[in-house]
């Protein structure tokens, strides 16, 4: 697969992948929905491609399946789009004419998006800075579409601005019967606030009141989030700046502090170990605390980190001790760990899960997502050094150490009496619990 960034499981067994390029081009400013079906990766659709801005961290970033997909074939996509009338230029520009992120509904055919089926739901989500776009999409049990947005790396940081869609978790109710394509859940925190308006419509509703679509604020780049389907609890994985990574339990109307705070510290100061000052409960400013946070290193800014979510595990393919664990990865460090909740202390602790994955880490490429599949296994999204060789891996639990694969080679392979032979077992391998699902996908 060519630089894919997201994927989703359809109820009919297909897998839909957000991939760069088209049937005839590898252009970073084109994207398509690739289909995996019946054990095979289908050719790219020859009839449809999205026009995107694919530079920096932009592009085709998120994909979600409609809860009624079996009857309507709808999926939802999040991608970066050049502002109409600005030609094909996708470089960073001022907010008045630069690229922006969009959420659309499209209808799937057998091998790709049906031409002409796109319905734009949300437009004008911050993207002008080129990075910090977020773009994950998930549904809750009520049929609400949840959307993560980043701060766009803007000088005028929108994370604390309730009149801007950037740096937020958004919540809308897709509805094909209304002109805008969605409604607002009645209990959204700002739905009935004074001056509240629709900020994602084209054009946005006039005014400067809070956006009705906002569910929670104060995020930097919640690149991934996940929903516990048992109770609709949202867990967001917010990529930090110079010192801390955060995992947050998202509550309605919650403010998670960016840019005023990061991890356990003042976000502007990027405090060193020992300088943390936030205690139990809310921080002094009233921001929500992360349920878990970790430092980039023991010393400020000496090592990179980037938290990547995530899956709240409710399957049965793994032993009972994994049920209810919150799995997450780190892009810079190429590991997968899990958080375990202790109800008695209302706290989370971290435990190892999959380490030794250095072969999945390259120059600027690594694990970019973790999901729980319909078969109860975890799946990891891997962006490869070779942009054309992205993959999805399935992590299967084995009860015991699997036997190695023995392979012996002889040189020469035959000879007359007294011939000296050299034998080598260097081709033998010790199998791991990581099994490739789709060669060349993600």
Q: What pLDDT sits at residue 427?
A: 56
Q: What pLDDT sits at residue 262?
A: 84
- Core vs surface per residue 247-268: b (16+ CB within 10 A) or e: bbbbeeebbbbbbbbbbbbbbe
Q: What pLDDT sits at residue 413?
A: 63
Q: Is position 409 within any domain?
A: no
Q: What pLDDT sits at residue 191?
A: 97
Q: What pLDDT sits at residue 433?
A: 47
Given a contact cutoff of 8 angstroms between Cβ atoms, the answer to whether 53 and 131 are in contact is: no
Give the integer Cα–Cα distance in Å for 165 and 148: 10
Give the integer Cα–Cα distance in Å for 83 and 23: 24
Give the integer Cα–Cα distance in Å for 227 and 349: 19
Q: Is position 416 within any domain?
A: no
Q: What pLDDT sits at residue 279?
A: 46
Q: Is position 104 within any domain?
A: yes
Share of the chain above pLDDT 70, in %: 82
Q: With 50 as the cut, is the pLDDT of residue 438 above it?
A: no
For residue 341, give every residue at least 6 positions away whose Cβ sits within 8 Å of its Cβ, in sequence order, or none.
324, 326, 347, 348
Confidence at 263, pLDDT banded by 50, 70, 90 = confident
Given a contact cutoff of 8 angstroms between Cβ atoms, the answer to whether 346 and 367 are in contact is: no
Given a contact cutoff of 8 angstroms between Cβ atoms, the answer to whether 391 and 382 are in contact is: yes
Q: Is position 408 within any domain?
A: no
- How many Cβ atoms sit within 10 Å of the Cβ of residue 141? 12
pLDDT tens digits, 75-131: 999 999 987 655 556 765 555 677 899 999 999 999 999 999 999 999 989 887 889
Confidence at 5, pLDDT banded by 50, 70, 90 = very high
Least confidently predicted of 141-150, 338-347, 388-397, 430-439: 430-439
Mean per-residue pLDDT, 241-268 = 86
Given a contact cutoff of 8 angstroms between Cβ atoms, the answer to whether 267 and 287 are in contact is: no
pLDDT tens digits, 95-105: 567 789 999 99
For residue 414, give every residue at least 6 positions away whose Cβ sits within 8 Å of its Cβ, in sequence order, or none.
none
Structural domain containing residue 93 = 6-401+433-438
Confidence at 155, pLDDT banded by 50, 70, 90 = confident
Q: Is position 418 within any domain?
A: no
For residue 305, give every residue at least 6 positions away whose Cβ sits within 8 Å of its Cβ, in sequence order, or none.
240, 245, 294, 295, 296, 297, 330, 332, 333
Q: H helices of 254-314, where?
A: none
Please tell me whether the peptide bond between 412 and the residue prior to it is cis, using omega within 30 degrees of 0: yes
For residue 322, give every residue at least 6 positions away whose Cβ sits within 8 Å of its Cβ, in sequence order, or none.
313, 338
Q: How many domains are contained in the chain?
A: 1
CATH number, domain of 255, equals 2.120.10.30
Q: What pLDDT sits at residue 419?
A: 73
Distance separating the N- and C-terminal Cα atoms of the chain? 5
Share of the chain above pLDDT 90, in %: 58
Q: With 90 as the cut, is the pLDDT of residue 389 above it?
A: no
Choose between 285 and 435: higher pLDDT: 285
Q: What pLDDT sits at residue 276?
A: 56
Q: What pLDDT sits at residue 400?
A: 58
Q: Which helix (H) or strand (E) holds 367?
A: strand 367-372
Q: Is position 428 within any domain?
A: no
Mean per-residue pLDDT, 322-327 = 96
Q: What pLDDT sits at residue 269?
A: 54
Q: Is position 413 within any domain?
A: no
Highest mean pLDDT among 1-5, 42-46, 162-166: 162-166
Confidence at 439, pLDDT banded by 50, 70, 90 = very low
Give the integer Cα–Cα distance in Å for 322 and 407: 35
Q: Is position 238 within any domain?
A: yes
Pairing of strands 335-342, 347-354: antiparallel
pLDDT tens digits, 399-432: 655 555 566 767 776 666 777 777 776 655 444 4
Least confidently predicted of 105-119, 237-251, 273-287, 393-407: 273-287
Mean per-residue pLDDT, 129-135 = 91
Q: With 70 as the cut, is the pLDDT of residue 435 above it?
A: no
Sign of CA dihedral 330, 124, 107, 214: positive
Sign of CA dihedral 182, 184, 190, 192: positive
pLDDT tens digits, 365-379: 789 999 999 999 999
Mean per-residue pLDDT, 21-26 = 92
Choose between 302 and 170: higher pLDDT: 170
């Amino acid at each position: 697969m060519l630089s894919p960034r997201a994927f989703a499981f359809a109820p009919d067994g297909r897998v839909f992948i957000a991939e760069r390029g088209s049937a005839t081009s590898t252009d970073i400013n084109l994207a398509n929905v690739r289909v995996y079906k019946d054990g095979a990766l289908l050719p790219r659709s020859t009839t449809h491609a999205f026009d995107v801005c694919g530079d920096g961290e932009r592009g085709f970033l998120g994909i979600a399946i409609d809860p009624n997909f079996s009857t309507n074939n709808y999926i939802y996509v999040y991608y970066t789009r050049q502002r109409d009338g600005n030609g094909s230029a996708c470089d960073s520009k001022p907010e008045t004419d630069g690229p922006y992120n969009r959420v659309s509904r499209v209808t799937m055919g057998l091998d790709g998006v049906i031409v002409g089926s796109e319905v734009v739901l949300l437009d004008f989500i911050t993207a002008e800075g080129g990075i910090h776009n977020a773009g994950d999409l998930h549904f809750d049990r009520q049929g609400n579409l949840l959307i993560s947005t980043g701060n766009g790396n803007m000088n005028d940081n929108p994370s604390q601005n309730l009149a801007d869609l950037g740096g937020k978790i958004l919540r809308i109710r897709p509805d094909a019967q209304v002109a805008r394509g969605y409604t607002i859940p009645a209990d959204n925190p700002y739905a009935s606030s004074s001056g509240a308006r629709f900020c994602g419509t084209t054009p946005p509703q006039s005014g400067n009141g809070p956006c009705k679509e906002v569910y929670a604020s104060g995020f930097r780049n919640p690149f991934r989030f996940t929903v516990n389907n048992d109770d609709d609890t949202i867990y967001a994985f917010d990529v930090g700046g110079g010192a801390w990574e955060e995992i947050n339990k998202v509550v309605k109307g919650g403010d998670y502090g960016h840019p005023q705070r990061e991890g356990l510290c003042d976000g502007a100061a990027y405090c060193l170990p020992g300088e943390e000052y936030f205690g139990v409960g809310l921080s002094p400013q009233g921001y929500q605390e992360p349920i878990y946070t970790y430092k980039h290193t023991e010393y400020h800014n000496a090592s990179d980190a980037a938290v990547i979510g995530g899956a709240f595990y409710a399957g049965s393919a793994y032993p009972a001790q994994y049920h209810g664990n919150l799995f997450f990865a780190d892009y810079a460090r190429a590991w997968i760990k899990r958080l375990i909740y202790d109800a008695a202390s209302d706290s989370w602790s971290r435990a190892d899960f999959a380490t030794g994955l250095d072969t999945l880490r390259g120059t600027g490429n690594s694990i970019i997502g973790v999901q729980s599949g319909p078969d109860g296994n975890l799946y990891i999204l891997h962006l490869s050094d070779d942009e054309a060789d992205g993959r999805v891996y399935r992590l299967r639990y084995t009860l015991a150490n699997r036997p190695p694969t023995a392979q012996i080679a002889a040189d020469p392979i035959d000879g007359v009496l007294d011939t000296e032979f050299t034998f080598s077992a260097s081709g033998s391998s010790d199998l791991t619990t990581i099994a490739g699902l789709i060669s060349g996908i993600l």
